Amino acid sequence: MTHRKSLLVGGLYFLLFSSLFFIFAYWLTGKEGSESGWGSGDKIALIRVEGVIVDSRKIVKTLRRYRNDPDIKGILIRIDSPGGGVAPSQEIYDELIDIQNEGEKKLIASMGTVAASGGYYIASATDLIVANPGTLTGSIGVIMELTNIEGLLQKIGVEGVTIKSGKNKDVGSPFRKMKKEERALLQSVLDDVHSQFIEAVAEGRSLHIEEVKRLADGRIFSGRQAQEVGLVDELGSLQFAIQRSAEMAGIKGRPQVVESEEKSLLTELLENRFLGQFKNTQFPVASIGMHYLFSY
């Protein structure tokens, strides 16, 4: 009887300490990923744009939340991306331009390892661009990559059959060689989208169109080179960019930085949502179309 009572008491103590541990861990991870931080006042919001840009929804949603938060005095966009889809890059750019036009919050871009093509497109919509000296940036251009497997199909005895309603409906088909007029058609579309890129950079950076055209041949620059030609304003680390954000926003001393982060594994387990989210995870795949993308 005494032994059973000891086991019961020990089990209760174990449950108590386990509960306290998980509550503390939940509080700790929640604090680290907190969007609002502790207290109120002047804050700098940090938003990360990382990897290939395939969807703008999350970034735009976060921008709008901080845009409407009176405690947020400046928004710092940390870019570590080679670019990506044309449309999502343009949608993030447009949201930044709207915030910039309101004039209530300062926008600063901090470039990491690479902030090229669509990554630079986004950065150009901010009030100040800070890059590391060795950052790879620029790559102002558009790319469309297609594949022709006609020769391979002939070798293995397979014939591709296409039924279409218009002569240009299968432009870029992998089953046949591209005609000269079809290449010209696609080139005209890419040239127009390239012009949109140039116009966006000229508007965002307050540069003349001809100045941007001179640099918009798809070439990349180091951060230091980009500063020399006017594509980057200052050189420095993320911490330097945070301090510059505070200065531009009129915040004295060390600024409070808030960041909307993905919940940790522990947090997800505690909320009993991890397994359900994992089951519904969709992994991005390469898409066909035009891209503001630097391949390296």
C-beta separation of 77 from 147 below 8 A: no
The distance in angstroms from the start CA to the end CA of the chain is 71
Distance CA 72, CA 82 (A): 28
Which of 117, 124, 173, 245 is the catalytic position?
117
How many CB atoms are located within 10 Å of the residue 103 CB? 8
Which of 169, 179, 237, 287 is the catalytic position?
169
How many CB atoms are located within 10 Å of the residue 85 CB? 20
- Where does residue 164 rank: exposed (0-12), middle (13-18), buried (19+ CB within 10 A)? exposed
Q: Among this protein's residues, is 117 annotated catalytic?
A: yes
Provide the token pair at 201.
Answer: 């950079």
Q: Where are the alpha helices (DSSP H) in 68-179?
A: 86-102, 118-123, 150-156
Place of tokens 């035009």: 290
What type of residue sits at position 295?
S
Distance CA 156, CA 153 (A): 5
Distance CA 179, CA 261 (A): 48
How many CB atoms are located within 10 Å of the residue 26 CB? 16
| CA of residue 215 relative to chain centroid, distance | 23
Largest separation between any pair of C-alpha atoms in the chain:
93
CA-based nearest residue to 135, from 154, 159, 110: 110
Ramachandran category for residue 51: left, alpha or beta (phi over 0 → left; psi -120 to 50 → alpha): left
Q: Among this protein's residues, is 169 annotated catalytic?
A: yes
Positions marked active-site: 117, 169
